[in-house]
Amino acid sequence: MKIDLISIFPEYFAPLKLSLIGKAEQDGLLSIQIHDLRDFTSDGHRTVDDTPYGGGAGMVMKAQPWGDATDPIIENNPQIIVIVPTPSGQVLTQEMAAELSKADHLLFLCGRYEGIDARVMTDLSTRVDLREISIGDYVLAGGEVAALVMIEAITRLIPGVLGNAASLIEESHSLIQDGQSLVEYPNFTKPPLWRGLPVPEVLTSGNHGEIAKWRAAQALARTHKIKQIKPMNGDQ
Ligand code: JD8
């Protein structure tokens, strides 16, 4: 997968060199290119923002640098998916991450200030598959951190990027129940007793049927708790 990112803060993406994403890039599974929006400005001050038409607080990102930065990346790439992180987008789900993990080429437009002149999205949507996506219902100062979250959620689903293929398969089985995402069961490792707290006996019993049943019940109870859904049986 090829990933291009455009931002006025290219240094924000230093973490992409680390951990499993950095390794995947070294292994040739991923190719990440970061572009500084200011390299596409047309004035000596490298201005990327201007006052909003219609008035109001804050500044809006000018269309021209975004148009000039995106044109060479999307030209001859009609199959590219352009992602614009925005609090007014569709909220990212595991299903969306799975779909995006199958793409050949992603381009992230990371805005700042009050956001990007809407004509940039209008223009791009006539030529490419454009997705406005949010990472959740809270307000960030810009799209960079949201893009990092999306890239981690997407790229860990690419075969070979996550070290352990077995854990992805296990996850795909445990995550979805009745078309709903299920949270994980609690994990334990050695020692068997820590600060007076024992590991649940069933996990050391060697009874794999009972372990699977216990884990499924724990996952369901936790899911009901966090999603504030009424459990079908009265316990927990
Ligand atoms: C991109 C600018 C800040 C947005 C005024 C100051 C995503 N889940 C999410 N929350 N926030 C963002 C996000 C915020 C952004 C930008 C993403 C670009 N801002 C602006 C409009 C209202 N603030 C996000 N994904």
Q: What is the pLDDT, as a whole number, of residue 36?
A: 98
Q: What is the pLDDT, as a whole number, of residue 175?
A: 54
Helix, strand, coil percentages for the chain (3-state, nearest 5): 40, 20, 40
Distances (CA, A) of 108 to 43, 105, 123, 213, 229: 24, 10, 16, 42, 35
Return the closest-CA partner of residue 185 out of 174, 196, 199, 201: 174
> What are the beta bridge partners of residue 105?
2
Q: What is the mean pLDDT of residues 154-173?
A: 80
Q: Which of 14-28, 31-45, 90-104, 160-174 has the lowest mean pLDDT?
A: 160-174
Of all protein residues, the one whose alpha carbon is nearest to atom 9 of ligand 1 is 87
Is 73 a residue whose pLDDT tops 60?
A: yes
Is 184 a residue whose pLDDT tops 60?
A: yes
Angle between helices 19-26 and 144-155 (to 10 degrees): 70
Number of H helices, E strands in the chain: 7, 11
Can you tell me whether residue 128 is helix, strand or coil? coil
Is 176 a residue whose pLDDT tops 60?
A: no
Return the closest-CA partner of residue 101 out of 159, 142, 141: 159
Express as a percent the part of the chain with pLDDT over 90.
Answer: 83
Cα(38) to centroid of ligand 1, in Å? 19
Q: What is the pLDDT, as a whole number, of residue 233?
A: 46
- More confident position, 177 or 67: 67
Cα(148) to centroid of ligand 1, in Å? 14
Of all protein residues, the one whose alpha carbon is nearest to atom 21 of ligand 1 is 114
Please state, rounded to an integer, the average pLDDT across all residues of the chain: 93
Q: What is the mean pLDDT of residues 9-26?
A: 92
Q: What is the mean pLDDT of residues 44-54?
A: 98
Q: What is the pLDDT, as a whole number, of residue 162?
A: 74
Contact 78, 125 (CB under 8 A): no
Of all protein residues, the one whose alpha carbon is nearest to atom 15 of ligand 1 is 142
Is 22 a residue whose pLDDT tops 90?
A: no
Extract the tokens encoding 39. 């390299």
Of all protein residues, the one whose alpha carbon is nearest to atom 5 of ligand 1 is 114
- Tens-digit pLDDT profile for residues 105-123: 999 999 999 999 999 999 9
Extract the tokens encoding 89. 């987008």
Is 16 a residue whose pLDDT tops 70?
A: yes
Of all protein residues, the one whose alpha carbon is nearest to atom 10 of ligand 1 is 139
Cβ neighbours of residue 219 closer than 8 Å, sequence gap 6 or more? 174, 182, 183, 184, 185
Ligand 1 pocket test: which of 140, 145, 150, 154 has the largest number of ligand atoms within 8 Å of its C-beta? 140
Is 234 a residue whose pLDDT tops 50?
A: no
Q: What is the pLDDT, as a whole number, of residue 177?
A: 52
Cα(104) to centroid of ligand 1, in Å? 26
Q: What is the mean pLDDT of residues 54-78?
A: 98
Please report where in the chains the tokens 């909220």 appear, as a residue. Answer: 91
CA distance 111 to 119: 14
Q: Which residue ranges have their beta carbon within 6 Å of ligand 1?
A: 85-87, 111-112, 114-115, 134-136, 138-143, 146
Of all protein residues, the one whose alpha carbon is nearest to atom 23 of ligand 1 is 114
Residue 134 CA, chain-centre distance (Å), reads: 9
